[in-house]
Chain A
Amino acid sequence: MLFNSIDFAIFLPIVFFLYWFVINKNLKAQNILLIVASYIFYGWWDWRFLSLLICSSFVDYIVGIGLSKTDKKQTRKLLLLTSIFVNLGLLGFFKYYNFFLETFVEAFSFFGHSINPHGLNIVLPIGISFYTFQTLSYSIDVYKRKFEPTKDIFAFFAFVSFFPQLVAGPIERAKNLLPQFYKKRVFEYDKAIDGMRQILWGLFKKIVIADNCAIYVNDIFENYFSCSGSTLLLGAILFSFQIYGDFSGYSDIAIGASRLFGFRLKRNFAYPFFSRDMSEFWRKWHISLFSWFRDFIFVPLGGRFSKPWIRVRNIFIVFILSGLWHGAAWTFIIWGILNAICIVPDILRNKRRQGTKIVAEGRLLPKPKELFQMLTTFLIFSFTLVIFRSESIYDSIQYIRRIFSISLFSLPEVFPKNVIVLIALFILAEWLQRDKQHALQFDDVALPIIVRWGLYYGIIWTVFYFGGHQQKFIYFQF
């Protein structure tokens, strides 16, 4: 089920009503309802793949119980390996089987050997990269004794399948989300209203910004060989807004919907386009994935306090894996490597901005230097995305080569005025609210109801005015 569909607009109030009015007294019943609702939400796309979700949940539940009952190092290791094998096995088979097969065939043919293996027509189950990482993190945390395993099977299954974040994150960690399933949830007006606002902002990002950019981006990337340099540059920039609007929009809707049920999910985006360098950018973009890689790959390999060359190697490992996580194609791997290259200078200079500190804090406008840094970071990211979006490495090289031609100084063949105005308004709203969790958070501003409601109606009509061509979320394919 898509968040931007009428189906979800009907589904959400029904689940909300049952959750708060029919079974609000019974925590277990609420968790069971969330499991059933989540399975309906997931099965709406293809019910057959529910078996994978159930399998992944069941294995990690059993592994957790097993780990709690034994102190034998060997047995514990075996249990952890079972979880890793099952989760990465599912991911490997459904996502990477054909990719590795093709790579082997190409490698063999390079050395003069020809093999003709059987490729499989595999459909990638939606959200598999997200929920397998989530369950895997649970088993690893339990193995490392960082988290007490649960015996409550309903809480655990609800944690794995929780519908707002099931198919495109944020990838939750057990220590944050699972305990919320043990406690009685209390409805809080302010949080629920804020959740609704965040859903609205997410829909705006997805339907108004991302889907409108998609129309031009698809056209430009499909016909890049006949476009001028300026058009191609515009295409790359629009794709940055498309992917940001699409993915952060999904996260906003997920976080907002969770709040309606009394849950608090991790923040997944912290205004990454206002970053002053690439290392800051990657701490603000898809936070839940990169914190996963940090905790389970980067830190075990040595972390921040290792020798510089070890840190550089680890950065490359993390970004290559991140590229591979996004998709089974060489374009994603190269994209990961490029991002690692962009971050290495900061690592070597040991230059690291503190946390996700807000740019130009306390000021309305950034300093010229900050503005320059933000623009540069954005452009670097946009260029790396050309590889991410292209069908092949060859296409991406041709695309970038064509940008740097004399036609870069001509007027673009397409100039989507409406979309550019909308993007400008969008950036303005995010800039003004950059110290908040999302752009429609008005906790500390006492706006009259007529202004607030007028603003909400305006956004809703903008969504319907510019919407209508429903597009799937990009991150569903990952």
Chain B
Amino acid sequence: MKKFLINTFLFSLIFLILNQLPAPFLGPYYGNPYYCEKYKYFTNNHDKFNTVIFGTSRLYREMVPKIFDSLLKEYQTSTFNLAAPAVSHPEAYYLYERLLETVETNSLKYSFIELAAPHNSRFENLNTTENHYWHNLKYLNFLIKYTFDSDLSSRRKIRLIHSYIVGYVNKAINLFGYKKLFNSKFYKMDFCLGENKDGFYSLEEQMRDFGVGSNAGRRFTSFLKDTTVLDEKISIANKAFSLKTNKQFINEAHLIKLIELIEKSKQKGIHLIFVMPPGMYDYHEVLAIKERLPSNHIIEIANPKIYPELYQVNFQFDIDHLNKKGAVIFTEYLANEFKKYF
């Protein structure tokens, strides 16, 4: 037994050491090639921009910097869209915090971060590199506190916490380090910056560039086959917006995190605004949080009764994203709401 234990220990130790070798070559954002590319461009050109957008593929595909800046000429905004596909919600906070800590942000005046509940990520995605490359103890702590504070069932809470811990261990051991290192050499990602090099790249453009057989194309054709799913999206949103209990339940951990981000931004002279775009998920937690955030730090553009166009088939690319026309409308709403506060 002694020999077995010593050999197993040595074998594992060498394995762990060898696994750490690719880490220095991976860079901090290796799990999200879209963000890597956008971040690289932004850091090389950060003087040109005073407004940044963080969030998931929703804001990436729906917030058009060119339109936004043209509508806010009096504010002289110059916007870069740093939102990226497959970004989860606490990940967006992490990316923003890291940006504040590592990049010269003197020129930044406004930041927008998409607001949604962290537990809206799919279970099957939680253990992927994309979902744990950004894990650290601070964020693991936040995720656990957030999950405890949420009104999810105990079973779901346990499953989520378990997935977060497994993700953290995965990241610490760097199990997929070599895979990411070799694969990153084959990607050319500059397309994701878009034609105007402002970080906006619509799904139509992606389908045009990569064909109908691409992921974007498949999403589009699948949505066209059955657009009735949009009714379900509207119904979920209507239900959440009509609930009176919205104001009663608060996820304290989430609220504290958002206020912490607002304060951090203030210290850097940046006004941080959280944005709620239309999405196919349960809004009730974030709607309650919205009520508790200072009103000039939150813009909600998701209520189907106020923004019915954003739920119309002709402005949708797929169930989760607006098309280019829809994105223009969404951006106009965002700019108008912004004007109300400043």
Residues of A within 8 A of B (CB): 6-7, 20, 187, 189, 192-193, 196, 453, 456-457, 460-461, 464-465, 468, 470
Cβ-closest chain B residue relative to A470? B127
Q: Which B residues are CB-close (under 8 A) to A196? A: 8
Contact A460 B179 (CB under 8 A): no
- What is the minimal beta-carbon distance from A264 to any residue of chain B, in angstroms? 17
Contacts A464-B179, A465-B182 given: A192-B15 contact, CB under 8 Å?
Answer: no
- Please measure, in the bound complex, the distance between the C-alpha atom of A366 and the C-alpha atom of B294, giving whole angstroms: 78
What is the predominant secondary structure among interface residues of chain A facing chain B?
Answer: helix
Contacts of B175 in A (CB 8 A): 464
Q: Which 9 residue pairs spanning A and B have beta carbons closest together?
A: A465-B179, A6-B166, A187-B1, A189-B4, A464-B175, A192-B4, A189-B3, A461-B178, A464-B176
Query: B152 an interface residue at 8 Å Cβ cutoff?
Result: no
Q: Which residue of B lies closest to A465 (CB)?
A: B179
B4 in contact with A193 (CB, 8 Å): yes
Chain B residue nearest in CB terms to A461: B178
Q: Taking the complex as formed, is B11 at the interface, i.e. its CB lies under 8 A from any CB of chain A?
A: yes
B169 neighbours in A (Cβ, 8 Å) = 6
Q: How far is the CA of A470 from the CA of B123 in the complex (A)?
A: 12
Tell me whether A187 and B179 are in contact (CB under 8 A). Answer: no
What residues of chain B lie closer than 8 Å to A470, measured between beta carbons? Answer: 127
Known: A6-B166, A456-B11. A468 touches B178 (CB 8 A): no
Extra A-B contacts (9), CB below 8 Å, given A6-B166, A20-B1: A6-B169, A187-B4, A192-B4, A457-B15, A461-B178, A464-B179, A465-B178, A468-B176, A468-B179
Q: Is B331 an interface residue (CB 8 A)?
A: no
B121 lies within 8 A of chain A by Cβ: no
A461 to B15, CA, bound (A): 10
Q: Is B170 part of the binding interface, using a Cβ–Cβ cutoff of 8 Å? A: yes
Residue of A nearest to B177 (CB): A464
Task: Find chain A residues with CB under 8 A from B4 CB.
Answer: 187, 189, 192-193
Q: A457 touching B18 by the CB < 8 A rule?
A: yes
Set A189, A456, A465: member contacting B1, Cβ < 8 A: A189
Q: Which residues of B contact A7 (CB under 8 A)?
A: 162, 166
Shortest Cβ distance from B166 into A: residue? A6
B129 in contact with A468 (CB, 8 Å): yes
Minimum C-beta distance from A473 to chain B (A): 16
Is B235 positioned at the interface, with any CB of A under 8 Å from its CB? Answer: no
Residues on B with C-beta less than 8 A from A456 are: 11
Question: Which of B8, B162, B166, B178 has a CB less than 8 Å from the CB of A464?
Answer: B178
- Bits for B55-75, please: 1 = Cβ < 8 Å to A, else 0: 000000000000000000000
Q: How far is the CB of B117 from chain A (nearest CB, A)?
A: 25
Residues of B within 8 A of A457 (CB): 14-15, 18
Whole-angstrom distance between the Cβ of A421 and the nearest chain B Cβ: 15
List 18 A–B pairs whose Cβ atoms lie within 8 Å, in order of A's numbering. Answer: A7-B162, A20-B1, A187-B1, A187-B4, A189-B1, A189-B3, A192-B4, A193-B4, A196-B8, A453-B11, A456-B11, A457-B14, A457-B18, A460-B15, A464-B176, A464-B178, A468-B176, A470-B127
A470 to B176, CA, bound (A): 13
A/B pair count, beta carbons within 8 Å: 36
Interface-centre pick from A187, A189, A461 (highest chain B CB count, 10 A):
A461
A461-B179 Cα distance, complex, nearest whole Å: 8
Residues of chain B within 8 A of A6, CB atoms compared: 127, 166, 169-170
Answer whether residue B336 sits at the interface, using C-beta atoms and an 8 A cutoff: no
Does B128 lie within 8 Å of A468, measured CB to CB?
yes
Name the A residues within 8 Å of B162 (CB-CB).
7
Contacts of A187 in B (CB 8 A): 1, 4
> What's the least CB distance linking B214 to chain A, in Å?
14
Instruction: Give the distance in Å from the alpha carbon of A7 to the alpha carbon of B127 in the complex.
Output: 11
Interface string of B154-178 (1 = CB under 8 A from A): 0000000010001001100001101
Q: Residues of A contacting B128 with CB < 8 Å?
A: 468
Query: Within the assembled complex, what's the spacing in Å between the Cα atoms of A145 and B231?
Result: 65
Residues of chain B with a CB closer than 8 A to A460's CB: 15
Least CB distance, A383 to chain B, in whole angstroms: 29
B275 to chain A minimum Cβ distance, whole angstroms, is 32
Taken together as a complex, chains A and B put the C-alpha atoms of A165 and B127 apart, in Å, by: 26
A189 to B169, CA, bound (A): 29
Report B-chain residues with C-beta under 8 Å of the C-beta of A192. Answer: 4
User: Which of A6, A453, A470 has the most chain B CB atoms closer than 10 A to its own CB?
Assistant: A6
Q: A158 to B1: give the CA distance in the assembly, Å.
A: 24
Map CB proximity to A onto B130-155 as digits: 1 under 8 Å, 0 otherwise: 00000000000000000000000000
**Min distance, Cβ A6 to any Cβ of chain B, angstroms:** 5
Q: List the A side residues contacting B179 at CB < 8 Å.
A: 464-465, 468
Q: Which residues of A contact B11 (CB under 8 A)?
A: 453, 456
- B7 / chain A contacts, CB cutoff of 8 Å: 193
Chain B residues closer than 8 Å to A20, beta-carbon distance? 1
A187 to B128 Cα, complex, angstroms = 36
Q: Which residues of A contact B170 (CB under 8 A)?
A: 6
How far apart are B120's CB and chain A's nearest CB, in angstroms? 21
A468 to B132 CA separation, bound complex (whole angstroms): 13
Give Cα A273–Cα B267 distance, bound, in whole angstroms: 68
Give bound CA distance, A196 to B170, whole Å: 21
A468 nearest CB neighbor, chain B only: B176
Within 8 A of A (CB), among B200-226: none
A207 and B50 alpha carbons, distance in the complex (Å): 47
**How would residues 70 to 104 of chain B score, 1 for a CB under 8 Å from any chain A CB and 0 otherwise?**
00000000000000000000000000000000000
Chain A residue contacts of B1, Cβ below 8 A? 20, 187, 189
Q: Closest CB-CB distance, A458 to chain B, in whole Å?
A: 11
Contacts of B18 in A (CB 8 A): 457
Q: In the complex, A379 Cα to B229 Cα: how many Å?
A: 43
CB distance from A448 to the nearest CB of B (A): 15
Cα A193 to Cα B220 with chains together (Å): 51
Residues of A within 8 A of B129 (CB): 468
Q: For the complex, what is the distance from the CA of A457 to the CA of B178, rounded to whole Å?
A: 12
Roughly how many angstroms separate A192 CA and B1 CA in the complex, as a whole number?
Answer: 9
Shortest distance in angstroms between B127's beta carbon and chain A's nearest beta carbon?
Answer: 7
A461 — which chain B residues lie within 8 A by C-beta? 178
Within the complex, the shortest CB–CB distance from A476 to chain B, in Å, comes to 16
